[in-house]
Structure 1
């Protein structure tokens, strides 16, 4: 960052870029090739020490990017200051490229569909899960913006590791659609194909009529009687794990930072 005002690039780009809120969001964005034109921190030494400990692979990039600003200036840039006191702006990936990726067949990993999700944090947690399992992408239907800053924060910057877009039900990617529904067949008796489209309704209202009507298969997760539902992210995790057990293309290395 140059000039007398270290925050002028931020002000110029804030309305058109994706907010990366916290060290881990910035770390993941850099790892997966995001274009990050500006990054600030209230404590540069602490941020670089964190990189030395947790992400030495992106330490040189952080060293070149991070500009220290007064804490009050940092706090004014973000809706909720992160404990790591790091924030950055990234260029949002091309929608056209994402749509091409989602439509391409054959696929080596499923697409996750969140049908009319309501909770921003849950949506972010699902994107983080999907990236970890190597899913082709995460699609949302309905009004929730999957690139909302709260969703990006919940996803720890892993939006840049998979294709994340909002579509309507008729625009869903090709592939056999497996919709999670209490009336479906027990998932333990099924093998989920790599080109599956996995649809999850909201915890409150379940699947929308449009997505349910498009389903090729209704699938149920094992659940104790009288338990109403699982958390959305938990349901996605259980389903992707089940897929991974039967797929040669799923990630096989445990752990990470």
Structure 2
């Protein structure tokens, strides 16, 4: 008989009922990989259901919780199972410095759509139009959660729940609504799209029910999104500087919205 502690796939099979190979992809039973201590910490803080968590160094992980996240320390103490380093490393696409990994139940699509569609909104929805970079998408989700945005919607082929995106978002997918939709399926609300030819954002007040849309890193806004936009806005930029990073652009736009809200 193969022991779960020497069979990486067996860890997930026995503890979470996964049927997928341990390559970091979403499990067919609705589980997603939480890669690293901070992803697990945030998922627990924002109500994720986490059936299994493993670590190569339980004492170190709990010490990190004592230092950085005492609010979730009891939950981590009950969840974390220690496995050999070789087993942990085989369970994740790229070992995290904290040597922690977990499976969380992905929120239902119906719940995410209901949150995005609910009106009146008290914070904007961020729309990433045909994003290409998984890390940038994760960074945007982390920003959106930090600013209290209603959610993040992607259009196109990128899966916003891809393990690399979840890792980049530090588990904060569970703090906001994250979904992939076609442009025609976007929630109701005025669309303010960032474009180099748009009006200077500093002269525009962004309403709480806005959809803040950002084009892809390479090609900008798609024709479909541009046609859907109610307003085109631009960020101040020094001449001869080509562009800002996507996450930076989102951060500046959300800051502009939040500064108006708090003033």
TM (norm. structure 2) is: 0.92
For 2:83 and 2:183, the matched residues in 1 are separated by 44
1:151 aligns with 2:150: no
Alignment correspondent of 1:92: 106
Q: Does 1:62 align with 2:62?
A: no
Aligned equivalent of 2:52, options 20, 26, 38: 38
Displaced runs of 4+ in structure 1, greater than 6 A?
none
Residue 196 in structure 1 maps to residue 198 in structure 2: no
Alignment partner, residue 254 of structure 1 = none
Distance 2:205 2:32 in 1: 37
| Residue in structure 2 matched with residue 10 of structure 1 by the alignment | 12
The CA distance in 2 between the partners of 1:33 and 1:100, in whole Å, is 17
Deviations 1:234-256 (A, max 9, x none): 000000000001114x9xxxxxx
| In 2, Cα distance between equivalents of 1:24 and 1:5 | 25
Matched, 1:121 2:135: yes
**1:159-199 CA deviation, whole Å, 9 max, x = no partner?**
00000000000001110000000110000001100000000
Q: Counterparts in 2 of 1:1-257, with a 5 A limit?
A: 5=4, 8=10, 10-11=12-13, 12-13=17-18, 15-16=27-28, 17-248=31-262
1:202 Cα offset (Å): 1.1
Partners of 2:158 and 2:107 in 1: CA distance: 18
Q: Which runs of 5+ in 2 are unaligned?
A: 21-26
Q: Which stretch shifts more, 210-219 or 10-19? A: 10-19
TM-score norm. by structure 1 comes to: 0.94
Aligned length: 247
The Cα RMSD (Å) is 1.4
Q: Is the 8 A contact 1:131 1:162 kept in 2?
A: yes
Contact 1:203 1:229 in 2 (8 A): no
How many Å separate the matches in 1 of 2:48 and 2:217? 32
The answer on whether the counterparts of 1:111 and 1:196 sit within 8 Å (CA) in structure 2 is yes
* CA offset digits 1:21-69 (Å, max 9, x no partner): 0000000000000000000000000000000000000000000000000
Q: Deviations over 1:105-145 (max 9, x none)?
A: 11000000000000000000000000000000000000000
In structure 2, C-alpha distance between the alignment counterparts of 1:45 and 1:74, rounded to whole Å = 15
Q: Which runs of 5+ in 1 are unaligned?
A: 251-257
| In structure 2, C-alpha distance between the alignment counterparts of 1:203 and 1:41, rounded to whole Å | 35
